[in-house]
Structure 1
């Protein structure tokens, strides 16, 4: 096992177990919305702190990039840990059991190690560049759909980028008429992990952040799939616009 993968798994499980423990305590939530948000912030920040604590223990010289802290610079800028301590925050609030911890390690702009951990189902998706993707130790492969007919695509809605809503809906409409079924799950990391596992055929999402995409991207690639932006280029980590799936499905999504 890649040494950094071992630490990545340890950090993801530590944070995930903490999230699961608090998920099982519905009585902790107060009736008013503000208290819910305060509790959520506490859980999310503690999960993030646990991840960073483990990374810093073994690799204090590395840079860590997170949703809360931004870039915590180390002495080695070529190695970056991209973390998302709770992907699916709204699911956690509403007690929908679809939440993930996402951690990736990038070395000189190449993602070398990725982990997406679902603490509710105890499913751990992992990948090392050039060595394939796994889920709980079992090898993963993307689905074999040849076109868009009867496919299931994971989507999201640009709630924070409403200026793109109409253009996005136009694209979704073109996909819909080709017998595409959609799922909007609230966790981009798990959407990409599910593509790697062949549970979902592809995804078509807008406005994602690098901590939403980086881990899942490697899972998909190492399972035989493609990840691009809306133009078929590799600008998705910057644009946040992601198309993913097996090569034939991606081609069909790019040319609906």
Structure 2
């Protein structure tokens, strides 16, 4: 049974998702502006954030709002903040790859307490509330996979192409992780990575340089599905430090050991 707050979040995500699905069907006609190397933003992205912002503000006008597309509002509430990525997987979207999501998290007193990750192209709605579990399409309870050996694991990551020192470090990490696992995947959508990890489709995930809206929705999803997340130092994962190593407790610790040793 969803809470009233989660219903608000689902309504906002699905309304934005309908807009994204329509634009996705006409992807070749989208007007695109370049925001930075390998980091595109489309009219669809901006439109989706406007929809989410308007829906959430209408329902909870005193809450703060932090959006990937630059929308930031300081609400009078002081305890609650929406953290939103209206289109996580923009590059996929613009290339006609149906791996993208509208992702919304609710932060209360610096803790994520509810989240929604919605992929309209696949019609998959992932939801989670603190203490209420994580769910797919309100029917399937999510649990992380139970694999115990990294050699049997499929691990997902994000590989950027900006040529930064962080990207080069990740390539070094990749060279050490590849021989230790069953397979590597790269979806292009961090919130999808965490949702699929919570659903047991992936066994582990690592990435750095992530923004709060990349991490916040999936963080709660993973924890409610029995998973664990830390940063590269092995301390409790945060949406603010940009580092994620995640999985079930066993796989996460094995993956952490490899990544931590690379510098």
TM range, normalised to the smaller chain?
over 0.9
**In the aligned structure 1, how far is the partner of 2:195 from the partner of 2:181?**
23
CA distance in 2, matches of 1:58, 1:233: 35
Q: 1:197 Cα shift? A: 0.5
Instruction: Map 1:102-251 onto structure 2 (within 5 A).
Output: 102-137=103-138, 138-160=140-162, 162-251=164-253
Cα deviations by residue, 1:126-177 (Å, 9 ceiling, x for unpaired): 0000111000111110001102012111111133461123322222222112
- The residue matched to 2:11 in structure 1 has which SS? helix
Mark the CA change 1:73 to 1:98 in structure 2 (over 3 Å): closer, same or farther.
Answer: same
Number of residue equivalences: 251
Alignment correspondent of 1:73 = 74
The answer (yes or no) to whether the contact 1:157–1:206 under 8 Å persists in 2 is no
Contact kept, 8 Å, 1:158 with 1:207, in 2: the verdict is no
- Residue ranges of structure 2 left out of the alignment (5+ in a row): 35-39, 259-263
How far does residue 241 in structure 1 lie from its aligned partner after superposition?
1.2
Conserved 8 A contact 1:84-1:211: yes
Residues 105-139 of structure 1: CA distance to partner in whole angstroms, max 9, x if unpaired? Answer: 01001111000000101100000001110001111
Report the secondary structure of 1:237's partner residue. coil
SS at match of 2:32: helix
TM-fit CA distance, 1:68: 2.1
Residue 172 of structure 1 aligns to a residue in which SS? Answer: helix
The DSSP-based 3-state class of the residue aligned with 2:151 is coil
Cα deviation code 1:156-210 (max 9, x no counterpart): 1133461123322222222112134111110000000000100111111111100
SS at match of 1:149: helix
Q: Does 1:37 align with 2:39?
A: no
Query: Residue 248 of structure 1 aligns to a residue in which SS?
Result: helix
Tell whether the 8 Å contact from 2:105 to 2:116 is kept in structure 1 after alignment: yes
C-alpha distance in 1 between matches for 2:208 and 2:163: 9
Paired residues of 1:161 and 1:207 also in contact (CA < 8 A): no
Q: Name the TM-score, length of structure 2 as normaliser.
A: 0.91
